[in-house]
Structure 1
Amino acid sequence: MDDYPLLDVFLTMLFLFLWVMWFFLLFRVVTDVFRDDEMSGWGKAGWVIFCILLPFLGVLAYVVVRGRGMGQRDVKQAQEREAAFKDYIRKTAAGDPEQPSNVDELSRLAELHRSGALSDEEFGRAKTKLLA
């Protein structure tokens, strides 16, 4: 431990942290390139090749040139996800309008039974079949 001073440990940890942050930023840039619907395929290929051949310069250039759009695309995607989730909840809570619910079917069966269209046996079988 004497051969590795405390300042060197701190610098090693700092460099490791910066290296991990840079990889995070690299993956973030690459996912943003492929998420952008407005960019052509050639533009996407160009940015990816630029980031692979000159990694630090490519990532920093992308953040400078298209950084504002990254945030806007994140917000747009979050809003789309939230809208889809709310739509799913709304549809699930309302039930399928094309298929009547069990309560509707039971009330229809009870009405048929009261009117005499169904006997007691038929009503009982239909009710157990519906509730099963």
Structure 2
Amino acid sequence: MDFWDIIWFIVVSFFFIAYLMVMFSILMDLFRDHETSGWAKAIWVVFLLIFPFITALVYLVVRGKGMAERRAADTIQLKQAQDAYIRQVAGSDPTAQIANGKKLLDDGAITAEEFEQIKRTALQ
């Protein structure tokens, strides 16, 4: 193998990996889209298998904007779910923490100093 064979192999490998990434992006977008019927999805997949390059170009031209919008919507939904989970794991809101502390104080489970510490922590 000489130098140019190695360069040619790298270039071909790059384009093949880029092609696979485009195909997987299209397939993920197809199955992410809830407005497209199952038959339309099946037709797109069949054409991607038979005429992959032309179908990918047509898909990107016809549905490219929708791909970006669906991806952005999914990203926002994922962020909201993560934020909700973090809030759930981190604890309740300050009002609920103070109310729980007051209940523990009234029940005699904690001292007044511990209750003041709970209030300070909740309000920070």
Q: Give the TM-score, by structure 2 length.
A: 0.73
State the secondary structure of the residue aligned to 2:77.
Answer: helix
| Alpha-carbon spacing, 1:93–1:104, altered in 2? closer, same or farther (3 Å) | farther
Partner in structure 1 of residue 105 of structure 2: 107
Structure 1 unaligned spans of 5+: 112-132
Residue 73 (structure 1) aligned to one of 70, 73, 80: 70
Q: Which range moves more in the overlay, 48-57 or 88-97?
A: 88-97
1:47-62 equivalences under 5 Å are 47-62=44-59
Larger Rg: 1 or 2?
A: 1
Higher relative contact order (CA 8 A, sep 6+): 2
What is the number of equivalent residue pairs in this alignment?
A: 107
State the secondary structure of the residue aligned to 2:35.
Answer: coil
Residue 91 (structure 1) aligned to one of 88, 92, 95: 88
Q: Give the TM-score, by structure 1 length.
A: 0.69
- CA deviation after TM superposition for structure 1 residue 41, in Å: 1.0
- CA deviation after TM superposition for structure 1 residue 94, in Å: 4.0
CA distance in 2, matches of 1:75, 1:88: 20
Partner in structure 1 of residue 3 of structure 2: 6
State the secondary structure of the residue aligned to 2:34.
Answer: coil
Structure 2 unaligned spans of 5+: 110-124
- CA deviation after TM superposition for structure 1 residue 104, in Å: 4.5
Question: Which structure has greater helix proportion?
Answer: 2
Q: 1:35 and 2:32 equivalent?
A: yes
CA distance in 2, matches of 1:23, 1:108: 64
Identity of aligned residues (%): 33
